[in-house]
Structure 1
Amino acid sequence: MFSDLSAQKEGSSLLCRPSEDQGPVFDRMSLAYSPCSERYTVGERSFSRQYAHIYAARLMQMRPLLSERAKQKWGSDVLIRKLCDLQTGEQCCIVGTLFKRMDLQPSILKEISEEHNLLPQPARVKFISETDELILEDELQRIKLEGNIYKDKCVTGSVIAIYGAEKNDGKFTVEDFCMADLPPQSPRPTLSSDRFVLLVSGLGLGSTHADSMLGLQLLVDMVTGQLGDQGEQSGAATISRVLLVGNLLSQNTQDADAATKPKYLTKKTQAGSVEAIRLLDEMLLQLVASVPVDVMPGQYDPTNFTLPQQALHRCMFPLSSVYPTLQLVTNPHQSHIDGVRFLGTSGQNVCDIQRYSSMDDHLEILEDTLRLRHLAPTAPDTLGCYPFYQKDPFILEECPHVYFSGMAPTFQSKLVTGPDGQECLLVTIPDFNSTQTACLVNLRTLTCEPISFSAFSADEDEDSEMNVSH
């Protein structure tokens, strides 16, 4: 792994006597790269359409896949019915979209109820309760579900196949259910040497934590070869690409009152994001002069709020945008790096599922979306989404080799396998502003390891040392 490549070489310590010669020059590996995020690029934007169209398109695309999966699981002779053709007591399979009725789900109707002097709803981290109900619906009808199905783990918008029978009370008793599972996957090329892609999320520029800037500068110096001895520099040369995965700016740069203030009160004031963008441009300038960089927007970055988030505008980066190594991409983002297919988001989809289900582990949620074959099942119900009309771009038509999500509380990785031999590396990228940790993905072995840049903090002793570990 990367730590082995960066091991100290004999006679290369920083404490050694300086030599007369200039020292070796390490050439950075260059990898073949092709972006594949055209499906997440929104052209003419129209919000005049109803959101029912995206649910209909999602069900239409997923029904053939789930029908085939149901036959593989429950036998080729299984009856696949639509809700309008159900007969009481008949064992059959239904393919439909889940709807989770939740009493605690935030609603604009509850917010305006303050006009009637009602108490506001308390702040909640999760919105699930014992009274939640699961409903399955297709193009024409809906039916309540009971039985062998994990109500708390399910979320609205998931398309699944259920097996069971309708009882006399009008409810469908579920005996078993299945998801679409991993989509087909193109073979991964065999690489002869180790080469790495660095994943970083949540730089949080503009925050009040001054020590986070020291960790960020250590990261930049390590990638550009300005940090460490010859062993560290030769290891840094194997980092062939950097992906900045969302939340480049801190939440502190969001001024909610600025839009409602009178113009004369904000005439000579400057938005908090202006200085943060300038810092980001200067940091990118150091990186793109040495290594190709992909920049994904996140929840607090200056682009559209609804998914898919469009790429940041190049005019915001006058210094770094002149370099061809800077790639401003969408969220979600998909690309081929040396034949390895990368796909990921800045974490909004995972955090939203965490709020509306019993799952807390980001890695478990990430695997669940992969097996559902859908990046953001809760969009557009509780997650902002563009009202697509004919096709749902968040459906996974091809299995990635590396599937990542940003803004996680901790680093986690896992290699999952599919029914047809698919292999996918799941990576949750921690918030760099709070953890000072990035992730290194080895394209040859399809493994991932964290790399930490711990700096001084108030909780540590004054004589504690900085640590760059991996």
Structure 2
Amino acid sequence: MELENMAQSSFILNQLKQNQQPVSKGQKLELDIKQSNRFSLPSSNQNIKAQNSYIYCIRYLSMSKRFKIEHLKDSNFVEAIQNIQNLNGRVKVMGTIFKVMKLKPYYFQQYTEIKIADSVQNEEICYLEDKSGRIKLEFTNCQLNLPNNTSKTIKIEDLITGIVVMIEGQIVGNNIVNVQRINLPDFIDPPIYKPLNQTTYVCLMSGLNYDLENNTTKLRHLIQYLQGNLYFGYGNEISSNISQIIIAGNLYGNQRDAKSCLTGSIKQLQDFKQLYNQLQENIKGVDELLNELANIIPVAIMPGQNEPVSQMFPQSPLQRAHFGESFEKNTKIQFLTNPSEFNLGNIQFVGTSGQNIQDIKKQQNIKDQQDIDLIEMNLFYGHLAPTLHDTLIQQQQFTNDPFIIEQLPNIYFVGNMKKFGTKRLLNNLRIISIPQFSETGIICLVNLSTFECFSFEIQ
């Protein structure tokens, strides 16, 4: 088995060999992450009076400007939904999708035993809303027109709450439209990609799920690989040219026993003390791990679902107090928000730790869809987290909607997915699905000089 794994790694390295230019260790390029304040929380003394409807209105007004002008000039176009009441025949109208799901998994139910697959049922009802009213939508052989000039047939279970669309269909009853076509907003061009002159890599990973009681062999091998001690030849040259590590959420493992230890008897109190001690050991272990990583390569960390920070979106950076040893010994650790937007080597990155895509899965029929396809559709929607305020809870400090994609990045990555995947949608735009390292041992490497991306498995 060990020989088979070595052969597999050797094959991967040989595949990379043709595109890899040998560079000595002394020539490693130093890069700085320049994080924007797009997802940073406003000052706590700001008085926020806006309700969720205000955010939906901002989203609608912003997204409605991105539809092609020929749609607005169509004789069947109706500016407000309430005007449909007195019409017959074919109509075209803009609005926000809202799904009524019998088993909708609200965010306060996320820790119950309800499974994601159980929330998608045939009893779903779909509405289109704007500030003037709502209409009920029915679907018969409906086509979804995508911004990349392709289309596909969709059903009601393929839609999600919160996306702004333009529908075309036939009025079949009082405030009921049978939809034949759905149009999404136009794509915005990403910034120009400026390749670096020197070969350098960014290492993307997620889901370390550190747990001292479980086997940490993969993490030890990861450190050895980054040190250049695990492989030789071209594999060593790749690791020596990694200029930045980005961890997209879930440093800590999910403490599944916490729920049973919160209340009750003396035994439960004893269990809670034991769990508390385990948490302390895990926090200390993560601190030591980050210290080792940062001694090799600068590390940037995004919080995730398992981290000891607020679970409301966007998540604030992790507290430095949890990493006393790391900050005492080096300054190569940077804490990012989740989602995060930053510039690295003149390349624009946007990434999340996966909660936005996981929540979309709760509202969709995803049996035949890959994670990378969901990430692609996420960009097509023009919004990073359209299900916010419905099944994904958002911080209330914002008076705008920071999740609207006003400018496409060069690289959009999502952590804690099931499988690795990547697509180059445009010449200047790449999307990446990052699997959990604890489950797969996979890290993702992006060559900033060629814009290529590949996975590498740590055994």
| Kept after mapping to 2: 8 A contact 1:407/1:429 | yes
Secondary structure in structure 2 of the residue aligned to 1:156: coil
State which of 352, 361, 365 in structure 2 corresponds to 1:358. 365
Residue 372 (1) aligns with residue 377 (2): no
**Count of equivalent residues:** 422
State which of 301, 307, 322 in structure 2 corresponds to 1:301. 307
Q: Show the counterpart of 1:407.
A: 416
| Kept after mapping to 2: 8 A contact 1:99/1:134 | yes
| Kept after mapping to 2: 8 A contact 1:181/1:372 | no
C-alpha RMSD of the superposition: 3.1
Cα distance, 1:32 vs structure 2: 4.5
Structure 1 CA distance for aligned equivalents of residues 203 and 58 of structure 2: 35
Specify whether residues 91 and 125 from structure 1 end up closer, same or farther in structure 2 by C-alpha distance, changes over 3 A only. Answer: closer
Specify whether residues 44 and 271 from structure 1 end up closer, same or farther in structure 2 by C-alpha distance, changes over 3 A only. Answer: farther
Structure 1 CA distance for aligned equivalents of residues 234 and 109 of structure 2: 60
Q: Show the counterpart of 1:244.
A: 247
Residue 279 (1) aligns with residue 288 (2): no
Moved more, 165-174 or 53-62: 165-174
Cα distance, 1:233 vs structure 2: 3.2
The Cα offsets for residues 43-86 of structure 1, whole Å up to 9 and x where unpaired, read as 32878753222212211222222xxx242568666634111222
Specify whether residues 233 and 271 from structure 1 end up closer, same or farther in structure 2 by C-alpha distance, changes over 3 A only. Answer: same
Specify whether residues 121 and 250 from structure 1 end up closer, same or farther in structure 2 by C-alpha distance, changes over 3 A only. Answer: closer
Secondary structure in structure 2 of the residue aligned to 1:199: strand
Q: Show the counterpart of 2:160.
A: 155
| Kept after mapping to 1: 8 A contact 2:71/2:77 | no
| Kept after mapping to 1: 8 A contact 2:42/2:398 | no
Specify whether residues 73 and 85 from structure 1 end up closer, same or farther in structure 2 by C-alpha distance, changes over 3 A only. Answer: closer
Structure 2 CA distance for aligned equivalents of residues 61 and 317 of structure 1: 40
Structure 2 CA distance for aligned equivalents of residues 38 and 107 of structure 1: 26
| Kept after mapping to 2: 8 A contact 1:254/1:273 | no
| Kept after mapping to 1: 8 A contact 2:414/2:432 | yes
Secondary structure in structure 2 of the residue aligned to 1:152: helix
Q: Show the counterpart of 1:43.
A: 43
Cα distance, 1:95 vs structure 2: 1.6
The Cα offsets for residues 406-454 of structure 1, whole Å up to 9 and x where unpaired, read as 111111111113xxxx632111101111111111111122221110012
Structure 1 CA distance for aligned equivalents of residues 105 and 65 of structure 2: 34
Secondary structure in structure 2 of the residue aligned to 1:39: coil
The Cα offsets for residues 221-260 of structure 1, whole Å up to 9 and x where unpaired, read as 2113343336443321211110001011111276224543
Could you tell me which runs of 5 or more consecutive residues in structure 2 were left unpaired when the two chains were aligned: 1-10, 19-23, 143-153
Q: Show the counterpart of 1:215.
A: 218
Q: Show the counterpart of 2:99.
A: 100
Specify whether residues 435 and 55 from structure 1 end up closer, same or farther in structure 2 by C-alpha distance, changes over 3 A only. Answer: same
Cα distance, 1:133 vs structure 2: 1.3
Specify whether residues 273 and 60 from structure 1 end up closer, same or farther in structure 2 by C-alpha distance, changes over 3 A only. Answer: farther
Cα distance, 1:157 vs structure 2: 0.9
| Kept after mapping to 1: 8 A contact 2:212/2:285 | no
Structure 1 CA distance for aligned equivalents of residues 162 and 25 of structure 2: 53
Q: Show the counterpart of 1:183.
A: 188
| Kept after mapping to 1: 8 A contact 2:434/2:444 | yes
Percent identity for Structure 1 against Structure 2: 27
| Kept after mapping to 2: 8 A contact 1:88/1:167 | no
Residue 430 (1) aligns with residue 439 (2): no
Q: Show the counterpart of 1:445.
A: 450
| Kept after mapping to 1: 8 A contact 2:212/2:281 | no
What amino acid sits opposite 1:318 in the alignment?
G
State which of 129, 134, 147 in structure 2 corresponds to 1:137. 129
Structure 1 CA distance for aligned equivalents of residues 95 and 333 of structure 2: 42
State which of 338, 346, 353 in structure 2 corresponds to 1:339. 346
| Kept after mapping to 2: 8 A contact 1:415/1:426 | yes
Structure 2 CA distance for aligned equivalents of residues 391 and 158 of structure 1: 16
Secondary structure in structure 2 of the residue aligned to 1:183: coil
Specify whether residues 447 and 61 from structure 1 end up closer, same or farther in structure 2 by C-alpha distance, changes over 3 A only. Answer: same
Specify whether residues 440 and 187 from structure 1 end up closer, same or farther in structure 2 by C-alpha distance, changes over 3 A only. Answer: same
Q: Show the counterpart of 2:120.
A: 128
Q: Show the counterpart of 1:202.
A: 207
- So what's the TM-score if we normalise by structure 2? 0.83
Cα distance, 1:389 vs structure 2: 4.8
Moved more, 98-107 or 38-47: 38-47
Cα distance, 1:262 vs structure 2: 8.2
Specify whether residues 184 and 122 from structure 1 end up closer, same or farther in structure 2 by C-alpha distance, changes over 3 A only. Answer: closer
Residue 319 (1) aligns with residue 325 (2): yes
Moved more, 437-446 or 43-52: 43-52
Structure 2 CA distance for aligned equivalents of residues 388 and 236 of structure 1: 41
Secondary structure in structure 1 of the residue aligned to 2:384: coil
Cα distance, 1:350 vs structure 2: 0.8
Secondary structure in structure 2 of the residue aligned to 1:395: coil
